[in-house]
Amino acid sequence: MIKKLYKQYKLYLVLLILILMAFLLWKLNGPSGNIGDFGLNLFTELIGIFITVALVERIISKQKSKEMIPVKAAVYREIQVLMSRIIGFWAEVYDCSVPGDNPQNVRDLLNADCFQKMRINLNMDSNANVYPETTWWNWFESNGKEFQDRCNAILNRYFIYLEPNLYKELHYLLNDSLLFDSMRNTVIIRRVDEREGIPKPKVLEYYLYMQESTYKTLLNIYDWCEETYRELTDLNYEVHKVQINYANKKLSVPKSMIDYSELLEQTSKFIKWQEDHKVIEEQ
């Protein structure tokens, strides 16, 4: 951090040191000495140079910023689509699996408590709210691939223009959070379990885990979208906001919420399998 600041403001630091030295020459030699006169002249010259450099750099910075606005708008539009798709996906999961009121803002949705409700309620064998009909297994797999491809395309296409912190968050989301890979792998894990005869309950909890850092990453990207949306709309750019939308009215009993008697039966079978498996290992 210190090294980065030094590189960024190196010229200003050098000028400030020279200004301080000139000031000391002026004051320590007295107002009437030759060295004092030289120090005063040097001091005023350096002050002028400092102000000129600052003004020129500000003008150049504003010009560069103005020229980059169209690029920033293009970046925003792609990240907005990515985030809207991710948020829309999980909002739909919540709507279809968790009883009670739906989250009405992004922060209420993207947190550990909310995800745990989805994990323990979503019946993966049921159909997602899409046409043509498909199970949540397949819907998780296809959306995980889509999100992964979109995020990868943004990083490859705009890596030169992305702000460092934004690049870091997107890179983490793609490569380190394991969110997209986990979504894609739910159906693979199920197939392996079926082949090995492992009777896991068919709820999301047994097939996908979300790291705490992933929530923070998603919210940091969302915050960037909010800030950039305000900036672009102030400049009269037509862009869409990242927000939660629900397609249908909430059902009193969500259609993809697992029946608790069914879950109890599946859990009992899995516990018995675990106990039997341990007995086999001990023998």
| Count of domains for the chain | 2
Lowest mean pLDDT among 100-109, 134-143, 250-259, 273-282: 273-282
- Look at residue 155 and tell me if it is in a domain: yes
Same domain, 8 and 147: no
User: How far is 101 from 250, CA to CA, in rounded Å?
Assistant: 8
Rounded to the nearest 5°, which phi and psi values hold at 122?
-75, 120
Same domain, 52 and 163: no
Same domain, 44 and 106: no
Q: What is the per-residue pLDDT for 61? A: 57
- Look at residue 273 and tell me if it is in a domain: yes
Please provide the average confidence, as pLDDT, over all residues in the chain.
Answer: 86
Same domain, 161 and 37: no
Q: What is the per-residue pLDDT for 45? A: 76
- Look at residue 217 and tell me if it is in a domain: yes
pLDDT of residue 40 exceeding 80, the answer is no
The answer to whether the CB of 183 falls within 8 A of the CB of 67 is no
Same domain, 166 and 84: yes
Average pLDDT of the segment spanning 88-101: 96
Q: Which residue range forms the structural domain that includes residue 246?
A: 72-282
- Look at residue 65 and tell me if it is in a domain: no
Same domain, 142 and 221: yes
pLDDT tens-digit readout, 58-70:
655 555 555 678 8
Helix (H) or strand (E) holding 221: helix 212-234
Q: What is the per-residue pLDDT for 155? A: 96
Q: Whole-prediction pTM value?
A: 0.77
Q: How confident is the model at residue 131 (pLDDT cuts 50, 70, 90)?
A: confident
| % of the chain residues with pLDDT over 70 | 82
pLDDT tens-digit readout, 188-231:
999 999 999 999 999 999 999 899 999 999 999 999 999 999 99
Q: How confident is the model at residue 21 (pLDDT cuts 50, 70, 90)?
A: confident
Q: How confident is the model at residue 280 (pLDDT cuts 50, 70, 90)?
A: very low
Same domain, 47 and 98: no
Same domain, 32 and 78: no
The residue count for the chain: 283
